[in-house]
Every structure is written in structure tokens, then in C-alpha cells.
Homo-oligomer: A and B are copies of this chain.
Amino acid sequence: MSENQDLQQGFLETVKFDEKGLVPAIVQDHETGKVLMMAWMNRESLEMTLERKQACYWSRSRQKLWLKGESSGNMQDVHDILIDCDGDTILLKVSQKGGACHVGYHSCFYRKAKDDLSMEICDTLMFDPEEVYGKKS
């Protein structure tokens, strides 16, 4: 594929949503490169993200638009949006306020496999989820 062919379409036309109308979005700190989370977008949440420059996803569990940080205040300001060769994965480069993970860590990827296939914590707790989201009933 030549460079020209690659850039023929606009960004939105290049995105291939899956059979559920969703595309995965990898979220990375724009300065450190740390991968913070992966979430899913439908077309509406992608358009909202492009317009507001704040990350907005589609919550598969709640089946609704989800402006990241709407409950926790931990918003993601979007610096760059990239798309992969197949058009079926998005990469957001963001400034993350507080922690990205609902468990309270900076990144959702806070557990690492050890050689014996047990796991260890490899990230920093940023907040107490009970304080931020309220106590689970």
C-alpha cells in the first residue's frame, strides 16, 4: 500500500467498527508512553472524543456513553488520536488526571505475570475507590 493510498480517506471513514459497532481504543500517557487502559468506542463516542478532546467511550457493561472521569473526576485530555493499519484499533495519547483504573491504580495494567505464573503488583495506587465512587453495597 503506498503512502498516498493510506491517506486517501479521512480519519472517520478509515475506522472499521466491529459487528457490534465498536472499536477498541488503547489509551497511553502522551508524555511517558505508559499504557493506562483499553476501552471501547462506538461512532458517537469517537465523534464526541474528537470534538471535545476528552476521552469518551461506550460502556459495554452499562450500555451507555461514558465520558471518562464523569464519576471520578479522572478525565483524560486527548492530545493525539492514531489508527492502526487495519483501521480496527485506535490509540489515544492523553493526559490522565489521577488514576485511570476504577480499582484505584494509575493504570489498569497493574498486575504482571511472574515466571511461576503467579502475579505481582507493578503499579501505584492513586486513590481509594470507595472514597471516589462510594462504598459498594
A contact set with B: CB distance below 8 Å: 1, 3, 6-7, 9-12, 14, 24, 26, 28, 32-35, 37-38, 50, 80-86, 89, 91, 101-103, 105, 108-114, 117-122
Contacts and interface: CB of A to CB of B under 8 A. Distances in A.
Number of copies: 2
A28 B62 CA distance: 29
A112 B7 contact: no
A81 B113 CA distance: 6
6 contacts: A7-B121, A11-B113, A14-B111, A24-B24, A32-B33, A81-B112
Contacts of A7: 111, 118-121
B6 A117 contact: no
Contact of A108 (B1, B85, B103): B85
Contact of A35 (B12, B24, B28, B50): B28
A60 to B, nearest CB: 10
Nearest to A112: B82
B26 A80 contact: no
A6 to B, nearest CB: 6
